[in-house]
Amino acid sequence: MENLDAYKDLAVRIIMLYLPKVLLAVATLVIGLILIRILVRIIERALERAQVEIALRHFFKSATDVLFKVLLLISVATILGIQTTSFVALLGAAGLAVGLALQGSLSNFAGGVLILLFKPIRIGDFIEAQGHMGTVHAIMVFNTVLKTPDNKKIIIPNGALSNGSIVNFSAEETRRVDMVFGIGYDDDLKKAKALLNELVEKDPRILKDPAPQVVVGALADSSVNFNCRVWCNKADYWGIFFDMHENVKLEFDAAGISIPYPQTDVHLYQEKSAT
């Protein structure tokens, strides 16, 4: 009986010692999970209002959920009296090992986050980066996919893309078309300039403001070169570029104005032999 009473007393003491901790730990776990769910929803809605890319929204939502739950479990373990120092150290060591092993991938991930947050490029933009040109087809967390004009797919790691220079041809609504047309030195310069101005005036796609510019740009080795600079909406760039070259050739031919090509005149002199 004495042993039984002793066991009962021990059980009562254990219950009195640990029951409050267990109840507090359970309450903390339940309330913490509810709060985490609310916080994750708030963060998700904030990202939606900020118009963050959907891939990045899902990642932030999952990462935040996991992080908060890990912190909650550590808190619950601490309430129960479980030593968490070694556990935290183990997590830190594991994180360091994973970080070193995935250094390149983490760099690409960080680059993807920067691109998706700051949006230097968007889907549909025509860009030049890392020695490649193409239309942005997809921006993912680790890489960006370009489609070239001849329908090739180029995959660029986001780490290199975010740390290198990017030329975005679609960032602005208008672009300047720079063209050079040459005529012969014997041709009528004023007539050629008037024809170029007339062609510019006739094209409705060319904007009036900023004003078009047709000027003599260089007196080259075999031609007088006109610089023709006009502004247009970005969608009309290549149409104007190709049409202007074709129309200038036709108009110059009809007006008898030559378009010289590089050539070299060789003069031979016969030396008289000494007798």
Percentage of the chain lying above the pLDDT 70 cut: 77
pLDDT score for 18: 65
Per-residue DSSP letter, 236: G
pLDDT at 275 > cutoff 60: no
What is the pLDDT of the chain when averaged over all its residues? 82
Q: How far apart are CA 67 and CA 188, in angstroms?
A: 76
With beta carbons less than 8 A apart as the criterion, state whether 41 and 106 touch: no
- Find tokens 């502004």 and name the residue: 231
pLDDT at 8 > cutoff 80: no
With beta carbons less than 8 A apart as the criterion, state whether 121 and 136 touch: yes
pLDDT score for 151: 93
pLDDT score for 231: 96
Choose among 167, 119, 127, 118: nearest CA to 146.
127
* Structural domains of the chain sorted by starting position, each given as residue range(s) with its CATH number in brackets: 2-101 (1.10.287.1260), 120-168 (2.30.30.60), 174-254 (3.30.70.100)
Percentage of the chain lying above the pLDDT 90 cut: 41
Averaged pLDDT for residues 63-86: 75
* Cα-Cα end-to-end distance for the chain: 149
What are the backbone dihedrals phi and psi of residue 130, each rounded to the nearest 5 degrees, phi first? 55, 35
Residue 268 vs residue 131, higher pLDDT = 131
Q: How far apart are CA 115 and CA 139, in angstroms?
A: 8
Q: How far apart are CA 159 and CA 85, in angstroms?
A: 35
Tens of pLDDT, residues 152-169: 999 999 888 988 899 999
The answer, yes or no, to whether the previous bond of 210 is cis (omega within 30 of 0) is yes
Averaged pLDDT for residues 191-203: 95
In which band, very low, low, confident or very high, does the pLDDT at 7 lie, cut at 50, 70 and 90?
low
At residue 24, the 3 state secondary structure works out as helix
Q: How far apart are CA 2 and CA 71, in angstroms?
A: 45
Averaged pLDDT for residues 229-251: 95
Q: How far apart are CA 28 and CA 45, in angstroms?
A: 25
pLDDT score for 252: 95
Averaged pLDDT for residues 230-249: 95
Averaged pLDDT for residues 36-65: 77
Sheet with 132-139, edge to edge strand ranges: 153-157, 143-147, 132-139, 126-129, 166-168
pLDDT at 248 > cutoff 50: yes
Distances (CA, A) of 250 to 79, 143, 178, 195: 87, 46, 19, 11
